Amino acid sequence: MKLHKWLITIALLGAAAQAQQTVEAVRVTSRNVDRTLVLPGEISSYLAVDLRARVNGFVDKVNVDRGSIVKESQTLVTLVAPELAAQVAEAENKVRAAESQVSEAQAKLLADQSTYERLKTAAATPGAVAANELISAQQATEADRAHVQSVEESLRGARSAVQAVKDLEAYLTVSAPFDGVITERLVHPGALVGPAAGPILLRLEQNSRLRLVVAVPEADVGGTIKGARVPFTVPAYPGETVSGVVARVAHSLDPKTRTMPVELDVPNPNLRLAPGMYAQVQWPVRSGRAALLVPATSVVTTNERQFVIRVRDGIAEWVDVKRGASVGEMVEVLGQLRPGDLIVRRGTDELREGARVQARENPTGS
């Protein structure tokens, strides 16, 4: 009997202790979360082109070498093609022959036209000119006019042929299509080159302005903002931060990596950065929705579940959550919580679900 009373006393003392348990609590807050990811990026030229010959010929001069800084329209390589000179001479001879034919045809037209006009005037006097003679003169004039038109068309064609060959001669000079740097020289004087699968002469890249390509994870592409300035670093310059501006978004995910390529424009007037450099990009992620935030210490993780302990009417409730992004000492959670819910600041699975607690609220969460 005494033992029974003793057990009852212990149970009552334990219940009283449980009823008097006090915990520090904070409120669930809601706000938009901006965070930063460290993403890899690769720098490439803003413009790049492999320069080839557009006509068959031999390299005469190469005016630049690897590392040369060139301006748009600057002559880089000159070629020689003796057969083109022969083609120009032949085409010009055809032009002169056509011009001679035009002169002769026009002279004959003028003569026959004059004869026709005289016969026509004379025909005004009855019986002075036979009718068939006037008709023959008229037909001869019309035939001469058609012949003049024909030889004039031939002359235009010959002149076009000369211009076409001279246009090909212009291709003997290889010029820079834009300002840039010669990064490869693959040809020397005397080399035979041409457009049909010919060798690359030079590689020209525009490096005063660069592209930084960043593979942004699928979950974070929604926060990408065109025009945003994004900082990054490169191993070549430790401790130095450079920035670029978001300029182009692919709007298509890579199915293998589930990332979307985003390009930044990076000014590089002093050419300190170079294509091929690896960058660590401080990528800003801006959420379009309000996130529920709790102290990181509030989230309890066990082998079976992950939860926070909500205090409602003095009773502890375990609420399952999923962790999101960390924001300082706070963490984003997804679960059946609402802004303003009171939760235990330092959660532990030793505080059992259904236990009676007295919450001491800490408004600052510190």
Residue 186: pLDDT band with limits 50, 70, 90: very high
What is the signed CA dihedral for 318, 322, 326, 328, rounded to 10 degrees? -10
CA distances from 276 to 267, 346, 356 (A): 16, 48, 62
Mean pLDDT of 325-332: 83
Mean pLDDT of the chain: 86
- H-helix or E-strand spanning residue 60: strand 57-62
CATH pick for 21-33+290-361 out of 3.40.50.300, 2.40.420.20, 3.40.50.150, 3.30.1360.200? 2.40.420.20
Q: Taking 60 as the threshold, does the pLDDT of residue 7 lie above it? A: no
Q: Is the alpha carbon torsion for 145, 147, 148, 149 positive or negative? A: positive
What's the pLDDT tens digit per position in 281-293? Answer: 999 877 666 789 9
Q: Taking 80 as the threshold, does the pLDDT of residue 25 lie above it? A: yes
What's the pLDDT tens digit per position in 248-281? Answer: 999 999 999 999 999 999 999 999 999 999 999 9
Whether 205 and 183 have beta carbons less than 8 Å apart is answered as yes
Q: CATH fold of 36-45+207-287, please?
A: Elongation Factor Tu (Ef-tu); domain 3 (2.40.30)
Whether 316 and 352 have beta carbons less than 8 Å apart is answered as yes
Q: Taking 60 as the threshold, does the pLDDT of residue 3 lie above it? A: no
Residues whose CB is less than 8 angstroms from the CB of residue 2 and which lie 6 or more positions away in sequence, other chains included = none
What's the pLDDT tens digit per position in 65-114? Answer: 999 999 999 999 999 988 877 777 777 788 788 788 888 888 888 887 88
Name the 3-class secondary structure at 308.
strand
Q: Taking 80 as the threshold, does the pLDDT of residue 218 lie above it? A: yes
Which pair of tokens denotes residue 190? 């005397």
User: Would strands 22-27 and 358-361 be described as parallel, antiparallel, or unpaired?
Assistant: parallel
Helix boundaries (H) for the chain? 2-19, 82-122, 131-170
Is domain 53-79+172-200 annotated with CATH 2.30.31.10? no
Whether 245 and 265 have beta carbons less than 8 Å apart is answered as yes
The pLDDT value recorded for residue 297 is 93
